[in-house]
Amino acid sequence: MIHPTSVISPNAKIGKDVYIGPFCRIHDNVTIGDGTMLDSHVVIGSVAGEVHIGKSNKFYGFCLVGGPPQDLKYKGERTKLVMGDGNTIRECVTISIGTVTGHGETSIGDGNLLMAYCHVGHDDRIGNNNVLANQVQLAGHVTIEDRVTLGALCAVNQFVKIGKHAFLAGASMINKDVLPYSIAQGNYATVRATNKIGLERSGFSENAILNINRAVRILTKGGSTIDESLSRIGDECDKIPEIEYLVSFIKSSDRGIGL
């Protein structure tokens, strides 16, 4: 169904069983996958941008998806937003396309929930099955991996990376990378504990949770440098994929870890 009050470019590609409610606007260079729903007053795309949306996504009132970057260096270049399947984008969410000085592309994976008034900045990379609660604000070039939860009113500085299965408490200000599997909170956010409940709900084994918790405690309670802590983790934790990933995340961090 397409409501007669909506304005859709003849160059847009609309899949099967797509519902487009009243007063929506779909620009050129937009592809919308099968089974997607636009509630009302939804804008997809921009004058220069390119937007690719997968299947079975839901967009609620007054969200702007694929708008131009909020970056003074942007001069109308043809950049992208790419979104996967099964995402829910609630009221008044804004998502910018990429920039030529960044990746040229903002990307969002599958199964994410972005609650009302969230902002996803240019060149951000969001993985799968994440929850961004109301009014989460992401600057440009942010990376959020998989199964991350950000509480309401969190703000994330540019170039920050948040690891898998992390939980950010509400109203946190995040200016450094956030350790995978952790609970972080504060202004500025630091790791407070292991996200044990989240790991249990995600099906992690008892042994994996035990080793992750040991590694997190070494990093946060050991009173050592990062290099010394990594050496201890190598000696005291099992060589399992979860620990290898955590160590790799720390070693690849450009902004440093909020500990």
Does 153 fall in a domain? no
Q: Are 173 and 153 in contact (CB under 8 A)?
A: no
Is 140 labeled as catalytic in the residue annotation?
Answer: yes
Q: What is the mean pLDDT of residues 165-177?
A: 98
Q: Mark whether 86 and 214 lie in a shared domain.
A: no
Place of tokens 């983790």: 233
Q: What is the mean pLDDT of residues 2-15?
A: 98
Q: What is the mean pLDDT of residues 208-214?
A: 98
Q: What is the mean pLDDT of residues 199-226?
A: 97
Q: In the predicted model, is pLDDT for residue 243 greater than 90? A: yes
Question: Whole-prediction pTM value?
Answer: 0.97
Q: What is the pLDDT of residues 21-48, one digit of tens each?
A: 999 999 999 999 999 999 999 999 998 8
Is 123 labeled as catalytic in the residue annotation?
Answer: yes
Q: Mark whether 136 and 211 lie in a shared domain.
A: no
Two structure tokens written together for 202: 């995600």
Is 122 labeled as catalytic in the residue annotation?
Answer: yes
Q: Mark whether 123 and 25 lie in a shared domain.
A: yes
Q: pLDDT value at position 245?
A: 98
**Which one of 39, 123, 146, 177 is the catalytic residue?**
123
Number of domains forming the structure of the chain: 2
CATH number at residue 223: 1.20.1180.10
Q: In the predicted model, is pLDDT for residue 94 greater than 90? A: yes
Q: What is the mean pLDDT of residues 102-115?
A: 98
Q: Mark whether 121 and 225 lie in a shared domain.
A: no
Assign 233 a pLDDT band (cuts: 50, 70, 90).
very high
For residue 211, the one-letter residue type is N
The domain boundary, picked from 144, 172, 188, lies at 144
Q: What is the mean pLDDT of residues 71-79?
A: 95
Q: Mark whether 100 and 228 lie in a shared domain.
A: no
Residues spanned by the domain of 243: 200-251
Q: Mark whether 205 and 78 lie in a shared domain.
A: no
**Which one of 27, 41, 52, 122 is the catalytic residue?**
122
Q: What is the mean pLDDT of residues 116-143?
A: 98
Q: pLDDT value at position 69?
A: 97
Q: Mark whether 29 and 127 lie in a shared domain.
A: yes
Q: Mark whether 26 and 95 lie in a shared domain.
A: yes
CA pair distance 56, 60, nearest whole angstrom:
13
Does 243 fall in a domain? yes
Does 258 fall in a domain? no
Whose CA is closest to 204, among 150, 147, 132? 147
Q: pLDDT value at position 48?
A: 87
Does 21 fall in a domain? yes
CA pair distance 188, 84, nearest whole angstrom:
31
Assign 51 a pLDDT band (cuts: 50, 70, 90).
very high
**Which one of 66, 109, 140, 198 is the catalytic residue?**
140
Measured over the CA atoms of residue 95, residue 96, residue 97 and residue 102, the dihedral's sign is negative
Mean pLDDT of the chain: 98
Q: What is the mean pLDDT of residues 160-172?
A: 98
The domain boundary, picked from 124, 144, 164, lies at 144
Q: Mark whether 34 and 138 lie in a shared domain.
A: yes
Does 183 fall in a domain? no
Does 154 fall in a domain? no
Q: Mark whether 121 and 15 lie in a shared domain.
A: yes
